[in-house]
């Protein structure tokens, strides 16, 4: 068990002494949980392989699943990566700081443990004052999401406490994150560019900025064979609460959800329906318990709530959750990727 120091800071104006303390922890080879605009990260210095190993142990993460390197200024990109294509430089100048991660050729200055032995490195510049100040002080930070491997990514400091207390040297709690879903990862090492993981920047936006089409493979939609995963992390089961989830992908979800809920209730099961506000409105009175992830007309809200809803599910005391899918447009692509990976069963209907 590691002694964990917990700090609460103002997300916009963090106490400089906390930043300096955590910077010193990182410099001396420790690991620190810090907020980003997407989800919380668990960081170590990107140049320190020994410290990166501690991250894998703290998370119970397989050693073949590489970490994202976080930078705070463009110059640092040249420290961690090589061979930056012209169009990628243009895209990052628009999308950074922000939830956009690019896969590039790795520089030898990034520890091999961080890239899990791969010749590539995933890099992003987070848009969060605490993360930026910490990186400014310590240098590039390698960080996966700060959850125990397999659990939903943490969107609040409290969730990182539940997963990481006693496993890390420090936790900086700055409240709830803005997007609540991880960054969009694009592989720019080969053309045409492809999505490795859809995330908080819609693919449509990335394609527009890059001025070219981006391939969306089946795996990026949360479909297809895990063995053929593009990003090593995508072959593992993810975001999964203990409670089994049935995902309903339907053009008229209300009827499918109602039918399924009835079926399980008749079998004596306790059911929770997780759906859009609009669907819950029309289901009123038909199922005993419902939770909303937001409006189906506001994917920002749905993306922001989805991990929270998945995390809370195991505390609901139900046997099964029936979840309404969303349209795979804009942020809906990222939401469906997470829901399909969390689901134990997917039911598709056209009516």
326, 336 Cβ separation under 8 angstroms = yes
Could you tell me where the beta strands, DSSP code E, fall in 114-262? 120-124, 141-143, 170-173, 184-187, 194-197, 245-250
Residues 127-156 that bind Mg ion (CB under 5 A): 145
139 interacts with ligand TXA by CB under 6 A: no
Q: What is the DSSP letter of 234?
A: G
CB of 238 to ligand TXA, least distance (A): 9
240 interacts with Mg ion by CB under 5 A: no
Of positions 95, 185, 186, 343, contacts ligand TXA by CB under 6 A: 185
Selected range binding ligand TXA among 78-86, 119-127, 168-176, 288-296, rule: CB under 6 A: 119-127
3-state DSSP assignment of residue 190: coil
Q: Quick one: 180 or 253, whose CB is closer to ligand TXA?
A: 180
343 interacts with ligand TXA by CB under 6 A: no
Q: Quick one: 302 or 320, whose CB is closer to ligand TXA?
A: 302
Selected range binding ligand TXA among 1-9, 140-148, 248-256, 265-273, rule: CB under 6 A: 140-148
Encode burial over 97-129: b for 16+ CB neighbours within 10 A, e otherwise: bbbbbbbbebbeebbebbbbeeebbbbbbbbbb
CB of 55 to Mg ion, least distance (A): 11
Q: Cα angle vertex 160, ends 156, 164, to 5°?
A: 175
Sign of CA dihedral 132, 135, 140, 145: negative
Token match 């690019």: residue? 102
46, 22 Cβ separation under 8 angstroms = no
- Going residue by residue from 89 to 108, which x/- string records binding to ligand TXA, judged by CB under 6 A? ----------x-x-x-----
120 interacts with ligand TXA by CB under 6 A: yes
Of positions 47, 48, 65, 337, contacts ligand TXA by CB under 6 A: 65
Query: Where do contacts with ligand TXA occur on this chain (CB under 6 A)?
Result: 36, 38-39, 41, 65-68, 99, 101, 103, 115, 118, 120-122, 126, 143-145, 182-183, 185, 196-197, 231-234
């Amino acid at each position: 068990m590691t002694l964990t120091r917990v700090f609460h800071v103002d997300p916009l104006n963090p106490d400089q002494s906390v930043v300096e303390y955590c910077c010193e922890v990182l410099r001396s080879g420790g690991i620190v949980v810090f907020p980003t605009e997407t989800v919380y990260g668990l960081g170590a210095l990107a140049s320190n392989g020994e410290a990166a190993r501690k991250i894998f142990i703290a998370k119970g993460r397989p050693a073949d699943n590489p970490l994202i390197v976080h930078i705070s200024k463009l110059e640092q990109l040249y420290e961690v990566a090589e061979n930056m294509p012209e169009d990628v430089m243009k895209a990052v100048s628009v999308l950074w700081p922000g939830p956009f991660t690019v896969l590039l050729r790795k520089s030898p200055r990034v520890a091999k443990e961080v890239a899990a032995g791969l010749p590539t490195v995933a890099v992003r510049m987070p848009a969060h004052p605490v993360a930026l100040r910490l990186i400014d002080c310590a240098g590039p930070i390698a960080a996966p999401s700060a959850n125990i491997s397999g659990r939903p990514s943490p969107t609040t400091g409290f969730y990182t406490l539940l997963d990481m207390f006693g496993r890390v040297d420090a936790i900086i709690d700055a409240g709830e994150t803005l997007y609540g879903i991880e960054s969009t990862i694009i592989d720019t090492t080969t053309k045409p560019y492809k999505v490795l993981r859809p995330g908080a920047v819609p693919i449509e936006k990335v394609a527009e900025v890059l001025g070219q089409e981006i391939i969306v493979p089946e795996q990026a939609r949360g479909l297809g064979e895990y063995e053929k995963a593009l990003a090593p992390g995508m072959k593992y089961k993810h975001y999964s609460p203990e409670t089994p989830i049935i995902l309903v992908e339907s053009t008229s979800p209300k009827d499918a959800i109602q039918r399924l809920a009835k079926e399980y209730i008749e079998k004596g099961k306790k059911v929770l329906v997780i759906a859009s506000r609009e669907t819950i409105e029309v289901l009123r009175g038909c199922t005993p318990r419902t939770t909303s992830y937001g409006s189906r007309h506001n994917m920002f809200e749905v993306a922001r709530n989805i991990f929270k809803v998945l995390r809370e599910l195991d505390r609901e005391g139900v046997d099964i959750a029936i979840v309404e899918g969303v349209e795979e447009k804009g942020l809906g692509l990222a939401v469906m990727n997470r829901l399909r990976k969390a689901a134990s069963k997917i039911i598709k209907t056209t009516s």
